[in-house]
Copies of this chain bind each other. A is one copy, B any other.
């Protein structure tokens, strides 16, 4: 088993690359549920879904949602005078309904999202980090905002004063996550936002200990490409935590968790092995190449 920890796009792309270099059924992706949100009574899991659509090869080229999706439901909500602030395509919504129905029937989030994964025809496992609700909140000068409100309603422009992963204290890594980490031949932290994408995963009590106890080294892939985050508000969140906007800053964020890091810049952190290689994943080949590089670093760090 290869385990990838993933938030949004960066981690999802690396997971897709990994599924091209190891048998898909041997890949387990542990995903951030801190961005989960209830919209229109539907349980939306943006990061687990993004990973799932990437693995299914149905990600839309806009970077989220399902390729070729239609918007009849959102258009009707708007026509009915509602504010469809969280835009879900019709197919995307259908997949969310699968999860919502199973949750309403009392299933764990792991099982509910598992039905989405199987429904998308994905052979790999895409696991929520925890079954309990964890919700990322961001404090801005206007007050606390749920993560999706901060991102979508506020446009992620407000000043970040504090970040909280509400519910994390009461959450636990699922049995499926612990089992995958224990059996892993390689563990790779994808190039996602260390603070708000990987941060919630590591904030689940027991997760860091499980990673430390794994028989295989943990390798991070830096989300910085040419000194910049490719996508999303990574830089603002890194700056908020006082971390340098470099692969060394990423290594610092993962202190005590990782043994090695892949980056496109030199990394000089005591006790951390590193591999310098291009990290831009601008296509199938580049994704597979980066996945292979992470596996090689894991293997040479063992």
Contact = CB atoms under 8 A, between A and B. Distances in A.
B76 A90 contact: yes
Interface string A91-118: 1011101101101100000000000101
23 contacts: A38-B101, A38-B104, A39-B101, A40-B97, A41-B41, A41-B43, A41-B101, A41-B103, A41-B104, A42-B97, A70-B72, A70-B90, A72-B90, A73-B93, A73-B97, A74-B94, A75-B94, A77-B94, A77-B98, A80-B98, A80-B119, A81-B119, A82-B119
For this chain, the copies found in one complex come to: 2
A120 interface: yes
Contact of A41 (B42, B119, B120): B42
A119 B38 CA distance: 21
A133 to B, nearest CB: 14
A195 to B, nearest CB: 30
Interface of A: 38-43, 69-70, 72-77, 79-82, 90-91, 93-95, 97-98, 100-101, 103-104, 116, 118-120
Closest 4 CB pairs of A and B: A80-B119, A41-B100, A72-B90, A76-B94
Contacts of A79: 119
Contacts of A81: 118-119
A248 B79 CA distance: 45
B119 A91 contact: no
A40 B100 contact: yes
Contacts of A76: 90-91, 94-95
Contacts of A70: 70, 72, 90
A182 B108 CA distance: 47
Contact of A80 (B43, B75, B94, B100): B94
Nearest to A78: B94
Contacts of A118: 81
Contacts of A69: 72
A120 B81 CA distance: 9
